[in-house]
Structure 1
């Protein structure tokens, strides 16, 4: 056995063959590529003379954008128009409500005014009648044709005649209106006809016919409820009702209205008795 057999060797270990071959191949490939590139460099370069046109995309896009903008504008216009129509409708509704309220207010005011006027007229009429009755009662008491008051000579009438007398006396103070048949205005024949209608007697409407509607009686033999007439029988121009005590009630004329007067005030031409 050699004495140096156990002495370690100081030689570097050999590289493995595969790794060395790999490194040599890579280096060779790189150098070959450089060499080929250098050889083909400037001599093979040629200027590009062909222009490739890309398809135009902007025309269709512009049309779409324009259409979208137009649609947006139309929508905005439609919204604005709708808003204006809504505002106009709201304004019209408010105006209509206000007008209706004003009309109702005016109607109520008119109704109140008419009611007040009617009440005033009725109060004036009642006062007028009361005054007329007071005056007539006084005049009948002091009259030279008889000192019996209306209340006392009215009581002498009975039955239907008393009803006729009471009716005409109640109208004293009413207005005279040509063609009037009541209830608050009369002409002479309208008053007489209405008085007799209360007891179921239907007299003709005009004074000429009323002057021949019953039995002719003497003015010296009058009874309450007899019809007095002025003018000829059948051609009378005025009528009234005898109420007793030398008094009569008649719708005389527009200036006096319905009055109670003594026979001496305007002596009648004749009389007829219906009841």
Structure 2
């Protein structure tokens, strides 16, 4: 044994041939890769670069979402259009309602004025009729026929006067059942024709004439009241009160149109139409 065998050597251990060969191979591979990359880089630098972008494929779910979005957009547009139409209709209806209200108010005002004028006219006519009746009741002339009382003289004008004047003009005419003038009458046709002179349209028959106007008592008669004999609504004869307890009527075939005294043939009732 050498006398230096126990002293550690300071020399680096030798690398094995296998490790050296492996490292050489790795280094060579790296250098080769770098060379290839450099060559590729040079080639790429010489040619333009083009990039292809792949568009996504429309799947069933995506198509459904697009359709739903389109439907929602259409519904929103329809909603806005419908709302605009409703607003326009509401505005038009409000304008029309305002116009109708103005027309109704104008019509109501006209009707109120017409009613007031009619009321005033009616009051004036009632006052005139009252004056006429007073005049007729206080004026008298000699009677004729079977009458035992004096006859009232009718004034030249006025509604009641027109009725009485017409009746007196028919004195002496014949009585014929169903006749309506000008020279022959029955009781109801004479009364109907007389009141037509005052603008009053009466029914043709005595039964209906007894239901017209206002019922008055026979103790409170005024000139121009219609007298009836029999029940109200079933009267069989009519005449007209002319004042002083007398009435004028188309009595019967034997008398014709005459003036008679109520005391000899009291009426069942009376109605007032003037």
Give the alignment's TM-score, normalised by structure 2.
0.46
Give the alignment's TM-score, normalised by structure 1.
0.46
